[in-house]
Amino acid sequence: MKRAAAEVESKLAGLRRKRGIAAVQLAKLAGVSRQTIYAMEAGSYVPNTAVALKLARALEARVEDLFSLAGDLPAAEPASEAVTLLPGSDRLEPGQPVQLCQVDQRLWAAAPSPLRWYFPASDAVVAARAAGPGKTRVQVFDAGRDFRHRILVAGCDPAISVLARHVQAAGIELVLAQRNSSQALALLKQGCVHVAGTHLRDEASGESNLPAIGRLFPKNAVAVITFAVWEEGIVTARGNPKNVRSAGDLARPDIAIVNREPGSGSRNLLDQSLKRLRIRRQDLRGYDRIAQGHLPAAWQVLSGAADCCIATRAAARMLGLGFLPLVSERYDLAIRKPHLDLAGIQVLLDTLGRSTFRREVESLGGYDTAAAGRRML
């Protein structure tokens, strides 16, 4: 074992801390002692195949994400380019996204707006007020258009727009409906959508999504596919001028928050944190002020209308804001099993495993796509 250990490099410690799992908890899941976990992290002990697979399962990763042969070539660094920032742009922080375009002999960088300041694509306009619940008449622009090859996705993760662009190359269109996790699952249960995105963390077990889905759907009714593991936490103004250090600081009288709507994973996280700290909801300024989505909530912080919100690291990074992580959790896609055979769903699932898609999502910040495409249920 000592000889083998010298040939193997361990990345276990970093990934364990990134997932927020204690060594004693990981040891229990893998069926080994805590000392063995520390030995593997130090590189002085190499696990057998069974233990390595248990570790990978517990950390929602591949074995090769945990251990590699010494001397393996590191992953190539992304190419670096010298570009000119488009005049009139706000000051950008490292990690904020830009789009590139060559104009004559110069490569320009333009920061995309996190809000859509243009008219969205549409297929029809409402012709009359709804005649009944959920029913209305519309005027279709192209009467011969076939909408059967589209996939309707309800969820709150802005990164689903990245997935939409990648599947479009294969001729598949995703129609994205902004809904929180509970609303998305309710729509899936009603048969209204093909896919529901969700990040509902069970406080008792720490498990993402599966307990909530198990309570809502009959056994074996849906498949659950991982989209990514993301970081969610406290978004602050740039530079964290109020010196917010923990969820407990949100109850300070000088802090105003913007909250998410009931049923959202972010609101659940806030409520669970307050309960754990024995803080009353009414002690938070802005608890009843609602923003519908991660980016809209972060936008309230950017505008100065609020000091903090609960959202993802990617939302904070998009707007150049501060971020204090609270949890790492899975964002999963729930799909009714009869829909798994649809061509559009097959393209979607195939895209989740593609390196180009994974790299782009991880570049947003706070996303780990090692488990993307893995079936959890």
CATH code (residue 362): 3.40.190.290
Q: Are residues 87 and 54 in the same domain?
A: no
| Of 7 and 304, the one with more pLDDT | 304
Residue finishing a domain among 69, 95, 124: 69
Instruction: Name the DSSP letter for residue 320.
Output: T
Residue 338 falls inside a structural domain: yes
Identify whether 124 is part of a domain. Answer: no
Please state the domain count of the chain.
3
Average pLDDT on 127-152 reads 79
- Is residue 136 one of the residues assigned to a domain? no
Indicate the residue type of 85.
L
Which residues span the domain enclosing 345? 148-377
Q: Which of the two residues, 121 and 374, has the higher pLDDT score?
A: 374
Lowest mean pLDDT among 69-83, 269-283, 332-346, 362-376: 69-83
Element (H, E) at 322: strand 322-336
Residues 297 and 152 in one domain: yes
* Residue 366: both structure tokens together: 């706070």
Q: 272 and 194 in one domain?
A: yes
Statement to judge: residues 17 and 96 lie in one domain? no
338 with 224, same domain: the answer is yes
Q: Is 288 in the same domain as 179? A: yes
- Would residue 300 count as lying in a domain? yes
pTM score, whole prediction: 0.74
5-9, 23-27, 85-89: lowest mean pLDDT where?
Answer: 5-9
Q: For 215-273, what is the HEC assignment?
A: HHCCCCCEEEEEEEEEEEEEEECCCCCCCCCCHHHHHCCCCEECEECCCCHHHHHHHHH
* 237 and 326 share one domain: yes
Look up the CATH number of the domain holding residue 34: 1.10.260.40
- The verdict on residue 228 lying in a domain is yes
What is the number of other CB atoms lying within 10 angstroms of the CB of residue 103?
9
Greater model confidence, 200 or 126 = 200
Name the residue with higher pLDDT: 317 or 111.
317
- What integer is the mean pLDDT of 308-312? 98
User: Band of the pLDDT at 338, cuts 50, 70, 90?
Assistant: very high
* Same domain, residue pair 374 and 232: yes
Do residues 261 and 289 both lie within one domain? yes
Give 206-225 pLDDT, tens digit per residue. Answer: 899 999 999 999 999 999 99
Q: How confident is the model at residue 316 (pLDDT cuts 50, 70, 90)?
A: very high
Please, what is the Cα angle at 134 between 129 and 139, to 5 degrees?
50
Residue 5's pLDDT is what?
53
245-260 pLDDT tens trace: 999 999 999 999 999 9
pLDDT tops 90 at residue 43: no
Q: Is residue 364 part of a domain?
A: yes
pLDDT of residue 71: 59
Q: Is residue 322 part of a domain?
A: yes
314 with 228, same domain? Answer: yes
H helices then E strands: how many in the chain? Answer: 14, 16
Alpha helix locations (H) across 124-195? 160-168, 181-189
pLDDT at 186: 93
One domain for residues 97 and 61: no
How much of the chain exceeds pLDDT 70, in percent?
93
Residue 152 included in any domain: yes
Q: Is it the case that residue 56 has pLDDT exceeding 70?
A: yes
Q: For the packed helices 49-58 and 23-30, what is the interaxial angle rounded to 10 degrees?
A: 130
Q: What is the pLDDT of residues 153-211, one digit of tens each?
A: 999 999 999 999 999 988 888 899 999 999 999 999 988 999 999 999 998 888 999 99
The verdict on 209 and 93 lying in the same domain is no
